[in-house]
Structure 1
């Protein structure tokens, strides 16, 4: 019997790779308006690792995340979630893969205002017609500190609590990988630190894989690895980052841009 390519963790567990991109290029516009957002980027996101993606404004960070998550289509190159090549999937299959094997956390929270916190967390499972794994759900809810807030609607929650709901929703289906695009951008420093701690704990305690786009060296300090983009190209990588080391590297980009 052939294994279901969309089954959570199957491909990532056997390969050690949660997601990868090869020769990824993304071009917007034509002629004088042509802009190359990504220029032949190849990268691997390893299972059970927290990767931060950084670089100057306009360097292609969010474009890389959106292409890797199947939210945008590259001009050329390939993207895989586990061993599944996204370019081989039709729209229905791609929707199913994103629903079943990818979690998303965005800056704007993206919660439905008429649903409770619990209903927002379990919404992807409800859409898929599945019952959530109660034991796993309880573990995720406890980890993000929402046990006493599940009956509240988004308007009754602080920004930090709303982002906790979004993190729990991303983790609830046990995805192969979670993509987070500036997840603390709308939060104060304390709430942002809590959310980053939850993402880090999901990697350390739950074996999750997280890829986060950020401009904040302090946020990148929570990651296991930082990769740096500049002008649409992957130019550097740092393991065991600290905010000071990341800041020094980002200052080098600023110096380069002023002298180029």
Structure 2
């Protein structure tokens, strides 16, 4: 691992992101659905948080609202000290470009570009040059220095997703949101990507929020928060796969009793 370089950030007492009484409602009248119901949660800097819950619990909606991809109905969503609802479309686009990284199930790599070109594409689109020292650090963390000239078709699924995670880190965002980043990977490739996310937190001082349904994936995090029916119902620190699975099974059993 090369020298650790911690991204510039607000004071450590300020969380990287925070939701306060966040509510998200889709539709109106008889078709109205409350996806998030007054959720309050903080995501600490330089920590890896997993968000879990049954299907339809609101975990992806929470991530989309916190990342500024979806407006909130009421309550507050902040990145650092910036209230997302106070921004116009241009300001929101700029904030997402400069302070937020995204990783999704689909690798979303351009097939005609090399791994390195894919990693630096968001910066080039923004008219910025990558910081050379930071890029070297991210490349070292990826562990694919010998593959940077390869195109996506020449890389395994795990390698492609690690490039996608690296792309999210190269702009030095305050926070990275990952939505089921191992969902399309086999167990070995998934472990590679989870290890990389873990290293980005431990070695690079990155903040990561990951939505997952997999207790093994969640066990890589420092903390797991659990949603059910659009509400924050529990959290677990220093998780293990067994402890996460036990909590999930308990929530499912409770849902069957109250359903």
Fold shared by both chains (TM-score > 0.5): yes
1:205-253 Cα deviation digits (max 9, x unpaired): 1110000000000000000000000000000011000000000000001
After the TM superposition, which segments of 4 or more aligned residues of structure 1 sit over 4 Å from their partners?
A: 8-11
CA RMSD of superposed structures (Å)? 1.3
Structure 1: distance between partners of 2:70 and 2:114: 30
1:124 aligns with 2:93: no
Match of 2:51 in 1: 53
Structure 2: distance between partners of 1:130 and 1:34: 43
1:217 aligns with 2:215: yes
**Farther off after superposition, 74-83 or 59-68:** 74-83
Match of 2:18 in 1: 20
Where do 1:201-216 residues align within 5 Å?
A: 201-216=199-214
Where do 1:193-204 residues align within 5 Å?
A: 193-204=191-202
Structure 2: distance between partners of 1:231 and 1:124: 35
In 2 relative to 1, CA 56–256 (structure 1 residues): closer, same or farther, beyond 3 Å? same
Query: SS at 2:145's partner residue?
Result: coil
Match of 2:244 in 1: 246
Match of 1:3 in 2: none
Alignment TM-score, normalising by the size of structure 1: 0.95
Query: SS at 2:177's partner residue?
Result: strand
Unaligned runs of 5+ in 1: 1-7
Unaligned runs of 5+ in 2: 1-5
Match of 1:257 in 2: 255
Contact 1:13 1:47 in 2 (8 A): no
Structure 2: distance between partners of 1:157 and 1:193: 16
Structure 2: distance between partners of 1:89 and 1:127: 21
Match of 1:227 in 2: 225
